[in-house]
Amino acid sequence: MELKREIKRLKKELDVTILGHFYQRDDVFECADISGDSLELAKKSLQCGSKNILFCGVGFMGQSVKILDPSRRVFMPKIACCAMAKMIDKDQFEISIKALNDAGIESENIMPITYINSNADIKAEVAKLGGMVCTSSNATIIIQKALESGKKILFIPDRCLGQNLAIKMGKKSAVIGVDEDIASADIICYDGFCSVHQLFTPEDVEFFRDRYEDILVIAHPECDPSVTKLCDFVGSTSQIIKYVKELPLEQKVAVGTEFNLVKRLREKNTYVLSSTKPECPTMNETTLQDLYDVLVALKEGKPYNEIVLDDDTMKWAKIALERMLELS
């Protein structure tokens, strides 16, 4: 049995649209009707007409699709959870707010911003305190707006994205539990990180610069600032794709982001900015067999891996996402 053909047949029969993030394995990615980065997938999902969505990515992305349009049924071939999203829960969020309070910042002077790489309950808590979501594509505009409120930004859960934004915008950042003086910072970061993007080092940048004269070095803002400050371009997944596609083919580039995306970028002169293979383990969990199995289960009336969230979480998390969409 040819799995891809069967998946195509079943999705048509069952009114299913398949969404796939750029980090998915090639064979899974090729089955996607709609592909994109986290922001694009959240937006494009609203435009597709299907009752059922099969989301190939990680849990928080599938949740975002469900939250934005609760009338859809959203299934995932694997409920794979982003390692960074797992780094903060409601208790840790509360402890972070308390750390700011202890530093003399009143709760009404805190604007929490959560990276979309967080679970729905965290997005809901952020919304209750007047905050919103951002992605790596729209983070600058969201932080700009948040700073206009005159409040201190509590940025969760990605320390690196928060620090990179502060550097880009000429603002001061500090990390809870690491830096002593958090009260004087404009952007106060939670100490979470992406285990994949932590793999890239300043030595990797030096290696490629020494080896290839005139090479361009590019990285995702989840990389540490010690790496991004050495790069020619820092951008979200879609921004990296656009930047590289517009370069002449003879221009060599080394790219610091997930392996599946980099290897698909273009045919020649493109290097992964690492001596290791920076694959996202959870994104890579999803296989063609998983897609097929979940579609068969749906056809047989025994669906599993459906995204289900309680009404209160959905209501508040939607507010956090919609505040972002209004601005981007």
Q: Which partner, ligand SF4, ligand 13P, none, binds residue 83 by CB below 5 to 8 Å per kind?
A: ligand SF4
167: left (phi over 0), alpha (psi -120 to 50) or beta: alpha
Q: Which partner, ligand SF4, ligand 13P, none, binds residue 236 by CB below 5 to 8 Å per kind?
A: ligand 13P
CB of 170 to ligand 13P, least distance (A): 23
The answer to the question of residue 37 lying near ligand 13P (CB under 6 A) is: yes
When binding is defined by CB under 6 A, the residue of 186, 204, 222, 224 that contacts ligand 13P is 222
Total Cβ atoms within 10 A of residue 243: 17
Nearest to 196 by CA among 86, 115, 276: 276
Rg (CA), the chain: 20
Binding site for ligand SF4 (CB under 6 A): 58, 82-84, 117, 194-196, 222, 258, 280, 282-283
CB of 6 to ligand SF4, least distance (A): 28
Using the CB atoms, write b or e for 35-74: b if 16+ within 10 Å: bbbbbbbbebbeeeebebbbbbbbbbbbbbbbbbeeebbb
Part of the chain binding ligand 13P (CB under 6 A), chosen from 32-40, 63-71, 96-104, 304-312: 32-40
CB of 286 to ligand 13P, least distance (A): 14
Q: Tell me which residue has tokens 């905050």.
A: 131
Residue 164 CA from chain centroid, whole number: 15
Extract the tokens encoding 78.
């694997």
Q: State how far the Cα of 167 lies from the Cα of 153, in Å rounded to an integer.
A: 14
When binding is defined by CB under 6 A, the residue of 35, 45, 117, 305 that contacts ligand 13P is 117
When binding is defined by CB under 6 A, the residue of 35, 45, 173, 236 that contacts ligand 13P is 236
Q: Which partner, ligand SF4, ligand 13P, none, binds residue 135 by CB below 5 to 8 Å per kind?
A: ligand 13P
Q: Which partner, ligand SF4, ligand 13P, none, binds residue 253 by CB below 5 to 8 Å per kind?
A: none
- In the region spanning residues 264 to 293, those forming contacts with ligand 13P, defined by CB under 6 A, are none
Q: State how far the Cα of 9 lies from the Cα of 17, in Å rounded to an integer.
A: 12
What residue type is assigned to position 319 of the chain?
I
CB of 241 to ligand 13P, least distance (A): 10
Dihedral sign for Cα 38, 40, 41, 43, please. positive
Q: Reduce the DSSP state of residue 240 to 3 states and report it.
A: helix
Q: Which partner, ligand 13P, ligand SF4, none, binds residue 224 by CB below 5 to 8 Å per kind?
A: none
Looking at the Cβ atoms of 96 and 282, the one nearer to ligand SF4 is 282
Residue ranges in contact with ligand 13P by CB under 6 A: 37-39, 82, 117, 135-136, 194, 222, 236-237
